[in-house]
Structure 1
C-alpha cells in the first residue's frame, strides 16, 4: 500500500470491538450464500442468482454487518472471485454506517493483500460520502493520498477505479467545502493542477462544476439526445460556461503532452460542448483540439495524447463547414499512427468528400494548407526595423531576417527582446509548414500507387502553384496525353513567365490530361534516358522516381495465388523495422512475449484506398534468454485485399494492379534491405551463431530490385568521382583498389570482403561523406554508405582508425 496508510488516524480498541461485533456470524452466512451461488453460476455476478434473495430479506443492521464482513473477506485472498458487486450490493440503501466503520475499513484495506479489481476499497468508498464534514475532517489527508494513489493504479479496472476516486472525492469535498469536485482535473497528470491553478475562480463559478461533471460523465464517443439536452441546459445555467469550455480546450491545445484517462474523458465531453457553437472561432478551436488530442509523443507514436477525445472530435469536426476541418483531417490522415484514430479520420474524410463530391484522394489533395505563403513559397512580414521571411527551401521551412536587404545569420537581439510575440508566432508558423511538408511528401509519393489523371488546369493549380506541394510537384516527372492513349513524359520548367511540362530536349508538351510518371509503365530505354538526364542536369528528386525500383509478379507468386514469399525468412532488427514500418505509413501491432504478441500483421492502404497490403512477421525468441523486449523478428508472407464496402476481401496476387503491387513490395524490400541483420557490419563480432548462416548467405546474396537500382546509380555517379580510376562495378559488388590491398563492397548489404582471401572487413562509418558529389535522390542511405566506404578504401594507406588498421595489417598492429 502507499503512503496514505501512514496518514490514517488511530483506531481504538473500543471502536474496533464495536465495529466487529457479529462479523463472524455475518461472514459465515455470506460465505454460505456465495458457496451455493458460485457452484452453479461461476463467472457471473452472484447478486443476480436466486440464492441472493435470502440476503435481500435481511435487516439494515444485518446488511451492515454482512457488508463489513465481506469487506474483510475482500481484503484477504480467501475468496477466488472479485467481490466488488457483492460488497456494493450489501452496502446499498440507508444503512447505519459510522465514522468508526469507515476508519476500520481503511485499516483493514491497508493491511490486506487482495487487490482483485480493488474490491477492498468498495466499502470505504461507499461509506465516506455518507458521513458529515465533522466526521471526515481528520480523515481528509489519508483520503487525498489514497485518491492520488488510485488515479495511477492501473491494476484496478477503469470502472471501479473511477468510482472509488469519485466517491472519495465527494467525501473530501464535503469535508473541505470545495465547490469544484476534487476528482475532476486531479493530479494524475500535469494538465489538471495547471488549469486548476490558472482558472480556479472560473472553474468554481455558479453552475460550472455541474457542467464539468456532466461533461466527464459522457461514456461513449457519441452523445445521446438526452445527454445533449442536459448539456444545453447546463451551458445556459453555468456562469460563463461556454467561455470556460473554450479556455479549458485552449489550455489543452497548448499543453502538448499526454493526459490521464479521466482528463481524456472530461475533454471528450468538452469538445461536444464546444460543438454546440457553430461560429468560425469554435470550428478553429475544435480543429486545434482534434489535432492536439490525436498527436502523440515521438517515442510512442501509436499512443495519442487523448485518444478518447480524438475519436469524438474527429467525428464532430467532419460535420463542420469550411476548409479548416478538411485541412486538419487531411493532415491527421498522414501523420496519425494510432490505428483506431486513423481509421476514424479516413472514414470522416471519405464522408466529408462524399458530401462535397470528391474522392478520398481528392479530399487529401484539396485540403493541403498553404499557411498564407505566396506562390514563391514565402511569407514576408515586418518585425520592427527588420524584414522577416518564412520560406520553403528544398524540403524544409525556415525563418530568416534581413535589414536593408542584407540577410542576417540569426535572429536579431532586438527581435528577441522587443518582439517576443511576433517571433513566437513566426516560429510556430515554421513548425506548421514543416509538418505540412512532411505529410505532403508522404501523400505525393503515395500517388505513385494510384491511376490518377488530372486535367491540366487542376494539375497546374495543385502541383505547380500551391506553395507547399509545388516544392515536390516541380521536381517530379509527369506524363501528358492528348488522346488518352499515348503519354509523353517531361519535367515542369518555366517557359517564359509560365510553367510548362518540357521533354528532355526542352520542348513544351501540349496541355492535355496529366498523370504522375512511374517507371513500371515506361520502357527500359525511357527509364534509362531519364536517369541519365537527371544526373547530367544535376537534378535531385524529392524521392526516388526515375531511379525507383519496379517489382513485377513472378511465376512463383502466380502459383501461390494468394500470397508472396519473395521477402520471407529474413531476420530483421525488430525495433528498427517497426519504426520504419510506421514511418512508411504501415499499421502494425507490437511484438512481445505475451499472449497474441508472437506474430503481427503490418497493413497499409494503396491505390487511393482501394487496396490493402499486409506484411506478416513474427517474433524470434532466444530459447536460452527470455526477453521482454523483442530484439529480432522473422519475415513471412505478403498478402493483398480489395476494399469491398466496409470490409477487406482477400484477393489473388494476379488481380492486384501493377502500381499497387510494385509499391507495396518496394516498401517490404525497404524494411528488409535497411533492417536485416545482414546489413550490420559488426554482426560477425556478436557471437550469435544461431543466425550466422543467414547472415553470411544474405550478406553476399543476389541483388534485390532496390540494390539493382543502386548499382545503376553508381554506374552513373562513379565516372564523375575522383576515385573513378580505382573502382570497377561488377554484378553484385563494387571493387575498390586501395594502396594496401583490394576490396569488394556488396551492393545490397554494404559489407566488405578483402582480397585475395575474402576476409571480412568491418567498418562502421561515423558519418557518410560523398564530398561534393550530387545524388539524384536522397532516400537511399546504403548508396551513401557504399560511396563513403569506397572513398575511404581507395586511400586505405591514410586510414588512422586502429580498429580498421588492425584488420588491414594485423601483423603490424600491437
Structure 2
C-alpha cells in the first residue's frame, strides 16, 4: 500500500534533502562534511557492516548525528543488494532529545520509504524515530500514513522478529501519541484479542498509567525476567490494567499475535508479585487459557510464551489450586515443549 497520498499537506521542503523520487542517490545528505562529519559517516558505515553501533556516537554534536541518520536512511532506500540489518542497529544511537526534527522532515522520510520492498525493514527506521521525537501537535494529520507503514511490516513474517518489534514500538507509540490513545503496538487492533481488549476496557487504556504498565510488560524479551526487571515492575502496584487485561484474555480463548503473547507473558510475571489469593486464582485461569489449543492444531497453544510463564510462576507456588492446575494441564496439553515444562514444574 502507498502512504504518500495519506500525508498531510506540507509547506516548503527542508533544505538539503534529496528529491523523494531519487532513490539511487546515497551520498552525503546535506552540506559537504567537515572533518568530524566525515569521520562520523565512516564510523556509521563501518558499524552498519559489522553488527555494531557506531563507537562514540553519543559524543557527536546533534547536527552530525542528524546527518549520519540521513546517510543511513539514504543508503537503506538505495540498497539494491542483499537485505541489511544495519539501520536497525545503528539508527537508535543517532537520536536523542538534542536532535530536533520537523513535520516536513517526517513527511520526507515517509515519502522516500514508500515502495520500499526489502524485508529487512531498513527504509522505515528514520521515519519511525522522527515520529516519536515529535509532540502530538506536530504529529497532527500523520496518523493514517504512519498506520499504513505499520500495517506494511507488522505481518511480514520474512522480517526478523526483533526488527518488527523495534519498528512496532516506534510507529505504535507515534500513532498513539497522535491519536491520544494507547500506543497501537500494545494490544494492536490487528490481533483479535487486542481488538477485544480495547473495546471492552475502553478509554481506561488510554491513560499514562496503562501505557507505562503495558510498555513495561512488553519490554520483557526472555522467558524468565531479571531481578532488575522485577524491581521495575514494583512501580506499578495498583494492578491496573494488569488484572483487567489478563481477565479479558481468559475469556478470549483464541490465538494471539506474537507481540501480544510477549505482552501477556510480562503481565503474568508482574501479577506474580501480587500475594493475594485472587491473583493466584487469575494466574491459574491464565495458564489454562494460554495452554489451550484449537482442536485442529492441538500442539499449538493459543499463547505459548504466556503459558510457559504461567507454568513457571505456578511451579514456585505451594497452594493447592496451583498444584491442581498443573496436574490438569499435564493431562490436556499436547505441545511437547510446554508439556515438558509442566512435568518439570510438577517435579519441582
TM-score normalised by L of structure 1? 0.38
Inter-partner Cα distance in structure 2 for 1:195 and 1:300: 24
Whether the aligned pair in 2 keeps the contact of 1:329 and 1:345 (CA below 8 Å) is yes
Q: Which has the higher helix share?
A: 2
Aligned equivalent of 1:196, options 192, 195, 198: 198
Whether the aligned pair in 2 keeps the contact of 1:221 and 1:311 (CA below 8 Å) is yes
Aligned equivalent of 1:268, options 260, 265, 268: 265
Q: Secondary structure at the match of 1:302?
A: coil
Whether the aligned pair in 2 keeps the contact of 1:76 and 1:114 (CA below 8 Å) is no
Aligned residues: 335
Inter-partner Cα distance in structure 1 for 2:44 and 2:269: 47
Structure of greater Rg = 1
Q: Which residue of structure 1 lines up, in the alignment, with residue 175 of structure 2?
A: 172
Q: Secondary structure at the match of 1:45?
A: coil
Listed one character per residue, the Cα deviations across residues 80-104 of structure 1 (whole Å, up to 9, x for unaligned) are 4322223333345622322221111
Q: Which has the higher strand share?
A: 1
Greater relative contact order: 1 or 2 (C-alpha under 8 angstroms, separation 6 or more)? Answer: 2
Q: How has the CA–CA distance of structure 1 residues 58 and 280 changed in structure 2, closer, same or farther, with 3 Å as cutoff?
A: closer
Q: Which residue of structure 2 lines up, in the alignment, with residue 15 of structure 1?
A: 13
Deviates more, 1:253-262 or 1:181-190: 181-190
Whether the aligned pair in 1 keeps the contact of 2:287 and 2:310 (CA below 8 Å) is yes
Structure 1: state its 5+ residue gaps: 352-814
Q: How has the CA–CA distance of structure 1 residues 132 and 209 changed in structure 2, closer, same or farther, with 3 Å as cutoff?
A: closer
Inter-partner Cα distance in structure 2 for 1:278 and 1:57: 46
Alpha-carbon distance, 1:126 to partner: 0.8
Aligned equivalent of 2:51, options 24, 45, 48: 45
Q: How does 1:321-470 map to 2 (within 5 A)?
A: 321-351=318-348
Aligned equivalent of 1:104, options 77, 84, 108: 108
Q: Which residue of structure 2 lines up, in the alignment, with residue 33 of structure 1?
A: 42
Whether the aligned pair in 2 keeps the contact of 1:75 and 1:115 (CA below 8 Å) is no
TM-score normalised by L of structure 2? 0.84
Q: How has the CA–CA distance of structure 1 residues 247 and 170 changed in structure 2, closer, same or farther, with 3 Å as cutoff?
A: closer
Whether the aligned pair in 2 keeps the contact of 1:212 and 1:266 (CA below 8 Å) is yes
Inter-partner Cα distance in structure 1 for 2:337 and 2:75: 40
Inter-partner Cα distance in structure 2 for 1:36 and 1:148: 29
Q: How does 1:518-557 map to 2 (within 5 A)?
A: none
Inter-partner Cα distance in structure 2 for 1:330 and 1:161: 37
Q: Secondary structure at the match of 2:28?
A: helix
Q: Which residue of structure 2 lines up, in the alignment, with residue 135 of structure 1?
A: 138
Structure 2: state its 5+ residue gaps: 20-24
Listed one character per residue, the Cα deviations across residues 171-210 of structure 1 (whole Å, up to 9, x for unaligned) are 22332333x3332111121111111111114434573332
Q: Secondary structure at the match of 2:168?
A: helix
Aligned equivalent of 1:75, options 77, 86, 103: 77
Inter-partner Cα distance in structure 2 for 1:32 and 1:260: 38
Q: Secondary structure at the match of 2:17?
A: helix
Alpha-carbon distance, 1:336 to partner: 2.0
Alpha-carbon distance, 1:35 to partner: 10
Q: How does 1:668-679 map to 2 (within 5 A)?
A: none
Listed one character per residue, the Cα deviations across residues 43-86 of structure 1 (whole Å, up to 9, x for unaligned) are x32535xxx56x77764334323321320211232464322223
Whether the aligned pair in 2 keeps the contact of 1:185 and 1:191 (CA below 8 Å) is yes
Whether the aligned pair in 1 keeps the contact of 2:3 and 2:111 (CA below 8 Å) is no
